A and B are shown apart, each in its own frame.
Chain A
Amino acid sequence: MKRTFLGEFEEIVLLVVAGCTGEAYGVTIWERVQEYTGRSVSLSAVHATLYRLEEKGFLTSEMGGATAERGGRRKRFFSMTNYGNRALQEINEIRQQLWQAIPAEKLQPKLSFS
């Protein structure tokens, strides 16, 4: 089965969008990505990734919700497509399989008292 590869950052962004309960747009997604990963991420990186994901069909967007703070500009609300959903699940399945393949003792942290 042919899958679309998702980069690590793309996957995180996609997961963040998927995890948003309310409306997800550039700034909220950017804040959450930083929150979850604990990394400092530039807004432009988040934007670029969002647009790329949309181009690939994992996300779709619509405009709306202008505020004065934004100078009357609308937000772009992103939501996940079915295709995005399936891609995440596939990734998850593969990960699960891989996890299960790991022998149990390897997962135990070795104690050493040297």
Chain B
Amino acid sequence: MEKAPQHNRPPRWVDRLLTIIIAPHFLEDILGDLHEVYALHARQGNARTARLRYLLTSARYVRPYFMKRKPRTYSPTYIFSPAMIKNYLKISLRTLGKNKAYSFINITGLAMGMAVAILIGLWIYDELSFDRYFENHDRIAQVWQHQTFNGQIGTQTSLPFPIGDEIRRNYGADFKYVIMASWNSWHILANGEKKFNKSGSYIEPEAPEMFSLRMLRGTRSGLKDPYSIMLSESVAKAFFGDADPIDKTIKIDNNLNVKVTGVYEDFPHNTTFREMSFMMPWQLMIVANPWLKTMEDPWRPNAYQTFVQLIDKADIDQASARIKDIKKRNINKEQLKYKPDVFLNPMSDWHLYSEFKEGRRVGGRIEFVWLFGTIGVFVLLLACINFMNLSTARSEKRAKEVGIRKAVGSVRKQLITQFFTESFLVSGFAFSLSIALVVLCLPLFNEVADKKIAMPWARPEFWLAGIGFSIVTAIIAGSYPALYLSSFQPVKVLKGTFRAGRFAAVPRKVLVVVQFTVSIILIIGTAVVFRQIQFAKNRPVGYSRDGLISIFTSTGDIHKHFEAVRHDLKSSGAIVEMAESGSPTTETWSSTSGFEWKGKDPEQSVDFSFDEISYDYGKTVGWQFVQGRDFSREFATDSVALVVNETAVKFMGMKNPVDQPMTWFKKPYKIVGVIKDIVVNSPYAPSRPQFFCLSSGQGNVINIRLNPAVGSSASLEKIKTVFEKHDPGSPFEYQFVDDVYARKFFDEIRIGKLTTFFSILAVLISCLGLFGVASFIAEQRTKEIGVRKVLGATVLSVWGLLSRDFVMLVCIAFLIATPGAYYFLNGWLQKYDYHTSISWWIFALTGLGTLLITLLTVSFQAIRAATMNPIRSLRSE
């Protein structure tokens, strides 16, 4: 036989098409004939025409006669007929119903995992969509500045008063709007008898346009007139109910009458401006504070915020580079040592990426997004692992079912469909249950996470993701039984010679190890987070918080009658002492660069926290003196005296600080006392140098130490009466310093609570899985245990036999988890200057705890199997 040369073959793609088109029973001889004719033509002429003719000839076979398939000799098996579908569902439901414990574990485990994933998904979505409410969110930016103080670069949003005008005048080409705004602060708004303390800002008139306010009443041009105010919907409701608030008069801080010119929809919770419940014109602030216009050096104090909107074609990096030196061009030479670099921070980075270290962006909340995202994925993974594990563990039991089904005529596809139907059913139930769980948990979750997330019922993406995920889970979890079990040979299975291989359990063991590794990491993480919080809470605060309250004052009425109020309250026994201060005790709002002392490097730029206080402040808050004394009315010279903290003494390098002279903006001062460091601002940050001086001016805060001998509610009642007598225009509102201090830990406590929640779930899910797997293993080994018992094994030895494997797995998981957890948590702790260390006993305790939980879980099954009467297990067959 002559072999056709390789190159002289008809085009292969045509053959492939013909194979598809021509019915199989015609295919062989037709294709053979075609090839033969081709060979003939190829011999006669050239290959090209042969190919062409081959193609043309082949084309003529595209006709129904050749395409029609021959009917089969046997009646077809139905895989997807309605009757079969009904049968699959019925059998699946019966299987689920028959193994109630298994179904319960599977569905609840998976539902919990899904619920966690949904919650975390919603949370991440909320975080990522922060500030997206504003139509121009991609063009809006805030002006920030880096400054060098005490040898470190700090980054802040506060800017000098004239910067807005300067940007508009000299750099205006890049910007559509440049808007100055005051910090959001509390003001008393009054209309007739109604008085509320609300937070809002003074802001320039284009702000409503820039923030694309959704106006409910009035227009966006409502801030043009200096004596106007725009209210958020909630504030307007509080004052006027459903009545039209436009043109109504509101009195601000008992002082200025303004007219309501607009009502806007409240800013949503996930926006930077959510606290801004009203807006007042920038011009009004200048009217109310005329000194703003006559400042000696308006470029020195940084006290205002600046927002800009770029024009459509401006590039933010270029615009940012252009305004970089705006401050250096305007400030005094003296101030140049702070090296202020101004830059634009785009709105899209405000919430998630606004942490700066040494003048560089180092991330921010995005870390939490990653952290929780990872946790969510892992918890979900745990749930899926359970699902798979239980399916595989159970599969050996179902081998017999497969055998019988095949023997009575089931084809493999029907078995595959049957197993898939079961896994789809389980994941479908789990998904519905998880939705219910999420709806139940969402209020609590919102509270813990400080969010206002609603269920996105109407969003197709949500359903697509949820259902898509359920399908993927069902396919992954169902594929083992569906594809592997259905391949069994019925003869082997039914004869009993079928044994799952030695290594059938290996993937299952690996999955258990993965589960426990994740759980252990989460437990250790939770422990460390709480240790860190406790560590910071135990830090000495430097004053006494018990029974200390602070009242923010907006009007000057109390200040005017301060001595009378103090006398009234002290003589009534309600309070021990009271004093005014510029910042609340828990914070420091002001800092200054003007201090000079002997031995200071003239080039050194310093930034010290300082506060102006009234007499008796130290007594009120309970300063702890290390050296020297408190301010006292007995010394006339105390008007130029300073009280400093220990860190300040250390920073300045003074041996004997008391009576040391200093200058503050060239004015002579003298240190009279040194106090222990006070925790202000972050309890995790190291203390900063802090200075206190006396001032007779009005403070922002009145601090009151309640009399511990009298109940606090009685004292507060008395304080309220006295305050309202002297300051009838302000509602009496106070805060316990204790509560305010506790708020410093909210972020960490929030993380702590969330990780606790997730680790509990992770452990629960893992244990559920373990419980299920253990029960199947115990069931499989029933006969073995029976024989062992007959031969004299004790309950204890049987228990050990069944538990040993699982304990081994948990030990392996522990060995894997420890270094991982140490690495991550150490990295996390390094972020805090004031942090705890990770002690070995956390690991040891976690390991023991996990082991204990494992043993408890497994023992339930192990003991049940061990105590069973061997007669019962051996009799069956």
A-side residues, CB < 8 A to B, are: 25-27, 30, 42-45, 47-48, 51, 63, 66-71, 73-76
Contact = CB atoms under 8 A, between A and B. Distances in A.
B16 to A, nearest CB: 13
B74 interface: no
Instruction: List 4 A-B pairs, minimum CB-CB distance, nearest first.
Output: A73-B32, A70-B32, A26-B33, A76-B29
Given A68-B4, A69-B2, A47 B35 contact: no
B31 interface: yes
Contact of B3 (A26, A47, A66, A68): A68
A25 B33 contact: yes
A69 B29 CA distance: 13
B36 A69 contact: yes
Contacts of A63: 28-29
A73 B29 contact: yes
Contacts of A43: 33-34, 37, 57, 60
Contacts of A69: 2, 4, 35-36, 39
Contacts of B807: none
A25 B33 CA distance: 8
Contacts of B9: 71
B320 to A, nearest CB: 71
B72 interface: no
A44 B1 CA distance: 27
Interface stretch (B61-69, B429-437, B722-730, B765-773): B61-69
Interface string B331-372: 000000000000000000000000000000000000000000
B26 interface: yes
Contacts of A67: 1, 36
A27 B31 contact: no
B29 A44 contact: no
Nearest to B39: A69
A27 B3 contact: no
A75 B32 contact: yes
Contacts of B35: 69-71, 73
A68 B4 CA distance: 6
B30 interface: yes
Interface of B: 1-4, 9, 26, 28-37, 39-40, 57, 60-61, 63, 65-66
A16 to B, nearest CB: 15
Given A67-B1, A68-B1, A69-B4, A47 B32 contact: no
Contacts of B34: 43
A71 B33 CA distance: 10
A21 B60 CA distance: 29
Nearest to B40: A27
A44 B57 contact: yes
A67 to B, nearest CB: 6
14 contacts: A26-B29, A27-B40, A43-B37, A43-B60, A44-B57, A48-B66, A51-B26, A68-B1, A69-B2, A69-B4, A70-B33, A70-B35, A71-B9, A74-B32
A75 B35 CA distance: 11
Contact of B33 (A48, A68, A75): A75
B29 A75 contact: yes
A66 B63 CA distance: 26
Contact of B36 (A42, A47, A51, A70): A70
Contact of A47 (B28, B33, B40): B33
A26 B26 CA distance: 12
B66 A44 contact: yes
A48 B65 contact: yes
B60 A44 contact: yes
Contacts of B66: 44, 47-48
Contact of A74 (B4, B29, B39, B65): B29
B30 A26 contact: yes
Contact of A42 (B3, B30, B40, B60): B60
A42 B57 contact: yes
B802 to A, nearest CB: 60
A88 to B, nearest CB: 24
B91 to A, nearest CB: 44
Q: Which of A45, A47, A51, A69 has the most CB of B within 10 A?
A: A69
Contacts of B26: 47, 51
A25 B60 contact: no
A47 B57 contact: no
